[in-house]
Amino acid sequence: MDRIFLFDLGNVLAKSLDDYYLYNKLNCKIPYNEFLQYWWSDDLVLKAHMGLVTDEEHIDKLLKLCKSDLSINQFYEIYNSLDSSLYDETIEIINELKNKGYKVGLLSNLRLMDYKRYEQQIGKINFDYIFLSYKMKCIKPSNDIYLQVINTLKCDPDNIIFFDDNEKNVNIANQLGINAYQVTGENIKEVFYKKINIPYTSP
Q: Domain residues of the chain, as ranges? A: 4-15+84-195, 19-80
CATH architecture classification, 4-15+84-195: 3-Layer(aba) Sandwich (3.40)
Amino acid at 99: N
Q: 10 Å Cβ neighbour count for 8?
A: 26
Instruction: Identify the CA nearest to 140 among candidates 4, 3, 2, 12.
Output: 12
**Residue partners of 181: CB distance under 8 A and separation at least 6:** 161, 162, 163, 164, 170, 191, 192, 195
Alpha carbons 160 and 176: distance in angstroms, whole number: 11
The DSSP annotation for 125-139 comes to S--SEEEEHHHHT--
Q: What is the pLDDT of residue 1?
A: 59
Q: Please provide the distance, in angstroms rounded to a whole number, between the alpha carbons at the two ends of the chain.
A: 13
| Average pLDDT taken over every residue of the chain | 94
Question: How many residues appear in the chain?
Answer: 203
User: Is the pLDDT at 203 greater than 60, yes or no?
Assistant: no
**Per residue in 115-128, pLDDT tens?**
999 999 899 899 99
Instruction: Give the pLDDT band (50/70/90) at residue 200.
Output: low
Q: State the Cα angle at 161 between 99 and 122, rounded to 5°.
A: 60
| Pick from 6-15, 100-109, 119-128, 158-167: least confident | 119-128
**Per residue in 110-165, pLDDT tens?**
999 999 999 998 998 999 999 999 999 999 999 999 999 999 999 999 999 999 99
Handedness of CA 49, 52, 57, 58 (dihedral sign): negative
Inter-CA distances, 180 with 5, 56, 172, Å: 10, 33, 9
Q: What is the pLDDT of residue 76?
A: 96
Is the model's pTM score more than 0.85? yes
> What single DSSP character describes residue 159?
G
Decide: 160 and 3 in contact? Cβ < 8 Å.
Answer: yes
**Residue partners of 97: CB distance under 8 A and separation at least 6:** 5, 104, 198
Task: List residues bridging with 152 in a β-sheet.
Answer: none
**Per residue in 90-100, pLDDT tens?**
999 999 999 99
Alpha carbons 26 and 36: distance in angstroms, whole number: 13
**Per residue in 58-81, pLDDT tens?**
999 999 999 999 999 999 999 999
